[in-house]
């Protein structure tokens, strides 16, 4: 099971990966970063991505159709109703994948992917796998 640094290095092995971070969306702080940042500042990118994550996780418009809110797994871990958020622009993809944790689940993986070289479907699958295996602590 990878920790933050190992997880980020694994994310950067994805084709087209330009930068990645593990971010706490309640505070907007980056818990770890690697590679480039779209605006040249990892902390500013983390804070901006955290705003988007908070909007998606806290608004009922993005909850599952059954209206369920936060879910609890068999191991007592908690997850927001949203699995991931994707934003595309002319030259890239920005993917936020929420991490299920035993405490407040306020962490997500952020990936900046080059649109010409990256594979969005593969990136989403890999982030899902890494989020499930990530060890925080």
For residue 48 the two structure tokens come to: 């901006």
Residue found under tokens 């609890």: 72
Question: Does the pLDDT of residue 70 top 80, yes or no?
Answer: no
The residue with greater pLDDT, 71 or 127, is 127
H/E run at residue 128: helix 120-133
Three-state secondary-structure class, residue 26 = coil
Query: What single-letter DSSP state applies at residue 60?
Result: G
Query: Which CATH number goes with the domain that contains 25?
Result: 3.30.450.30
Query: Please, what is the average pLDDT of the chain?
Result: 88
pLDDT at 62: 77
pLDDT confidence of residue 72: 61
95, containing H or E segment:
strand 92-99
Which structural domain range is residue 86 located in? Answer: 4-133
So what's the pLDDT on residue 65?
Answer: 74
> What are 103-114's pLDDT values in tens digits?
666 899 999 999
DSSP-based helix, strand, coil % in the chain, nearest 5 = 30, 30, 40
Answer yes or no: are the C-beta atoms of 123 and 110 closer than 8 Å: no
Map residue 92 onto helix, strand or coil. Answer: strand
The count of structural domains within the chain is 1
**Is 134's pLDDT higher than 80?**
yes
**What digits encode the pLDDT tens for the residues 23-65?**
999 999 999 999 999 999 999 999 999 999 999 888 877 777 7
Record the pTM.
0.87
Q: Which residue has 């705003």 as its token pair?
A: 51
Per-residue pLDDT at 61: 79
* 110 CB-side CA count, 13 A: 35
Q: Inter-axis angle of helices 4-11 and 120-133, to 10 degrees?
A: 170
pLDDT at 104: 64
């Amino acid at each position: 099971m990878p920790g933050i640094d190992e997880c980020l290095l694994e994310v950067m092995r994805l084709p087209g990966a330009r930068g990645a971070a593990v971010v706490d969306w309640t505070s907007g702080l980056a818990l770890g970063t690697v590679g480039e940042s779209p605006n040249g500042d990892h902390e500013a990118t983390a804070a901006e991505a955290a705003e988007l994550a908070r909007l998606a996780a806290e608004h009922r418009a993005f909850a599952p159709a059954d209206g369920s809110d936060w879910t609890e797994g068999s191991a007592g871990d908690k997850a927001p109703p949203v699995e991931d958020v994707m934003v595309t622009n002319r030259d890239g993809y920005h993917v936020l994948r929420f991490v299920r944790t035993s405490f407040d689940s306020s962490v997500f993986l952020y990936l900046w992917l080059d649109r010409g070289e990256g594979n969005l479907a593969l990136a989403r699958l890999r982030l899902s796998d890494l989020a499930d295996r990530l060890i925080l602590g």
